[in-house]
Structure 1
């Protein structure tokens, strides 16, 4: 279903979405299915590199700092999610892990890593969450200690990182990590610094975590991992801004991912209800089922419009987008949870069988209500924005 009013897609945008869905069906989905659950799927990333999908994340090219348009990112993620959540997530994680470098890295960092990411040859990770610091990102405690003789945090030439990160997508298989560490104790968000840490640094370790969704997620450990000023992403003690700048771009597209999953669940339900015979007819002729489908379709369209609106606000340079982005993520992810659950109900016991599309979506849909700011955090942001003058 196309969105209405000023948010109607252009013919070029609609054609692009259709092209992405076709590519996902014919090439990406088989590669995703062949991958090992819980591990980075490098053949899938390589295929997305060959087809230019990863390049869509970085329109400035391998040497540029230009950001993808937030709306384009949403269309890409929604289209992939309708066909293959694995492909969607693999692409999104490349963007999330690499954008701190694109937005804040040095020319040397960009020249070294961005071409490999665009080609699907290097795996990126965004390492923010910690055992005691999830949605409260400003409270993180991974310690960046100045090395001997390098002075205080601002004057340091080098640091060692000690502590751990957890629930990090692509860990521990990533080739590099955008890491956020505490350089100034007791300073909250003003004492965090971002570093680019290659995976081969001494003292860097990690392990896989077994989660309900099949994506690669793990723990990253830092045992006096050395970093220098050449590894900085942005300025010392300004890393929280680095993290938020990336999340501001990606938050609406988390909603797009949710919309794509919800649309897949609705499409499957419409087909099933139109064919499944029960009680002397087909399911769609039962008012309870048709009303459920109508509610699902209405909520999806509302969520899609919120996502597109937030993305266009970001792209147009509006100053106060936090509330709109929070609304988009909140409503879209909560809607996807509702729609997938309703779709399972319409399908009945078959949808609970391992390997069924809805069994897969039922496991996938839960996490987006937590990561990149839980729904409760989004409500807090929205409430706070209501009182800003």
Structure 2
């Protein structure tokens, strides 16, 4: 298997995922309330063994899961991805006690995780975060002998907030140190001083803000090492950025297939829409861009799994190309469908609301371009 093709077993697995999404997951998604965690859907992902695979599979498998689910049920895809994003730092950087406490519950769908990095004044500029972790001589009352802190400040645009059961929280432990003064903490939702508010967003999945009013944490809650939390954040994002691209590719593929069906059957101007050259060429462009994005996503995921040195560049390229492509493809699909695609409940109306956010979260498109340029120049300047 190369980075540019799937073997028969992978292809069959993707087809099985799409069938499961249609038969088991989409009915649960349709019963969910927009803007809130759909716990029955999360539990079903656990029952099907998909959440456990977040911690036993590589980046390519993660991409295949996200792309396949997104083609059929974006709500299921997002629920799976948010569990992975919130819990991956625990899996990769947590202590045995942290992993034993939380990962089984995440895997079976019984606990909801969240990744709390963004702030009102520090979204894409993650190194500028201001949530403070101040040393607490009083102690936090939660054990640990390596120090205690109090978290004070805000987080914003946090997926699964305020309904998650625990948060991976990034806080400033050393003022003025930029990315080198950030520590990652595992913070259960029931810690005193932690409150949250849901936000009414364009995307239908749950997003909220968090307020930290002297929330106690100790060394037992640190993920990785103190002042090394930026490494935790970037390690997580380097894994998940290609899979954000896979989510986008899945949406683009769904929009493309809907357009093929519509243009093949729609009568207009004395024939089928597909017989109009401008329509046929538009559909060809949609397919071309979708396939190019898919191949870049697979290549970036394969590079991650192989431990390649250029993962940050490849991950940024894959996320950038795929999310921008999906926006183009979904928009073009809406245009070719006409007014029917704007009706509430139409697949493309749903995708149009879903497709916008991925160009912003986990690093906006402009940030991805900055990452790519930085990596290019660093390679050029290396001895």
Q: TM-score, normalised by structure 1?
A: 0.95
State the 1:319 CA deviation: 1.2
Distance 1:6 1:169 in 2: 31
State the 1:381 CA deviation: 1.1
Q: Does 1:332 align with 2:322?
A: yes
Matching residue within 253, 256, 261 for 2:246 = 256
State the 1:243 CA deviation: 0.6
Matching residue within 4, 24, 28 for 2:21 = 24
Aligned residues: CA RMSD = 1.2
Distance 2:128 2:2 in 1: 42
Distance 1:386 1:317 in 2: 18
Distance 1:31 1:204 in 2: 30
Distance 2:191 2:199 in 1: 21
**Who is 1:64 aligned against?**
none
Q: Does 1:285 align with 2:275?
A: yes
SS at 2:190 equivalent: coil
Once the two structures are superposed, the pairs formed by residues 198-213 of structure 1 within 5 Å of their partners are: 198-213=188-203
State the 1:364 CA deviation: 0.4
Deviation sequence 1:85-135 (CA, Å, 0-9, x none): 100000000000000100111101100100000000000000000000000
**Who is 1:191 aligned against?**
181
User: How many residues of Structure 1 are paired with residues of Structure 2 in the alignment?
Assistant: 374
SS at 1:200 equivalent: coil
State the 1:5 CA deviation: 7.0
The answer to whether the 8 A contact 1:147-1:156 is kept is: no
The answer to whether the 8 A contact 2:119-2:156 is kept is: yes
Structure 2 unaligned regions, length at least 5: 140-144
Once the two structures are superposed, the pairs formed by residues 102-181 of structure 1 within 5 Å of their partners are: 102-148=91-137, 157-181=147-171
**Who is 1:352 aligned against?**
342
**Who is 1:73 aligned against?**
62
Matching residue within 4, 7, 11 for 1:10 = 7
Structure 1 unaligned regions, length at least 5: 60-67
Matching residue within 213, 218, 229 for 1:228 = 218
**Who is 2:142 aligned against?**
none
Distance 1:113 1:322 in 2: 28
Q: TM-score, normalised by structure 2?
A: 0.96
TM superposition outliers: structure 1 runs of 4+ over 2 Å: none
State the 1:387 CA deviation: 1.4
SS at 2:151 equivalent: strand
Distance 1:149 1:112 in 2: 26
**Who is 2:373 aligned against?**
383
Distance 1:181 1:126 in 2: 12
Distance 1:374 1:13 in 2: 30
**Who is 1:63 aligned against?**
none
